[in-house]
Amino acid sequence: MRWFLLSLFFLLLSLFAERSCVDAAPRKATIQGTREANLRVGPGTDQGIRGILKENEPLTVEGEQGEWYLVETTTGLKGYVNKNFVKLEPGSVIAKPDERVATGKAPSLIELLEGREGDMMLWAGIAIVFFLIGWIFGGHYYLRRDRARRTRLRF
């Protein structure tokens, strides 16, 4: 019975696994137009220039922030490019980057849980159900065991 409950627990855990851990896959893109584009340190023209991208240079778009894409070049250089200079492959959907990418700082626990109140309530409900099942069945087991010991004849 214990193995059944454990396997049921892990099955439920796999079904309700954190869906937000799976971000949109990076998309392929190229630099469009006849001009060169600046690869910048941050999203904005006031940010420093990390490199210069030529026309038709392949890129991997990892995220979007305002009017800027967070891209990685084939040489491994990461930075921001204005959307006007980037041509995405058809059917591309870009995920918004975390603040960790822009600031290089890990988010706090409150920032991680922000907007996930429904998931937290679901997990709290599952934990309460498992607690109650354990309490009910565990209590009955000890009651039956004690009753069996009291009714046993001893010589």
Cα-Cα-Cα-Cα dihedral of 140, 141, 142, 145, to 10°? 120
Query: Do the beta carbons of residue 53 and residue 59 sit within 8 Å?
Result: yes
State residue 121 phi and psi, 5-degree precision: -65, -40
Tokens of 6: 């454990």
Give the pLDDT band of residue 25 (cuts 50, 70, 90). low
DSSP states of 99-147: HHHHH--PPPHHHHHTT-HHHHHHHHHHHHHHHHHHHHHHHHHHHHHHH
24-107 maps to which CATH number?
A: 2.30.30.40
* Span 47-67, pLDDT tens digits: 889 988 888 888 888 888 888
- Region 75-96 average pLDDT: 78
Q: What's the Cα-to-Cα distance from 58 to each of 8, 39, 54, 103, rounded to whole Å?
A: 47, 13, 9, 26
Q: What pTM, to 2 d.p., does this model score?
A: 0.46
Q: How far apart are CA 20 and CA 107, in angstroms?
A: 15
Task: List the chain domain ranges.
Answer: 24-107, 115-155
Which H or E run includes 48? none
Q: Is pLDDT above 70 for 101?
A: no
- Region 85-106 average pLDDT: 63
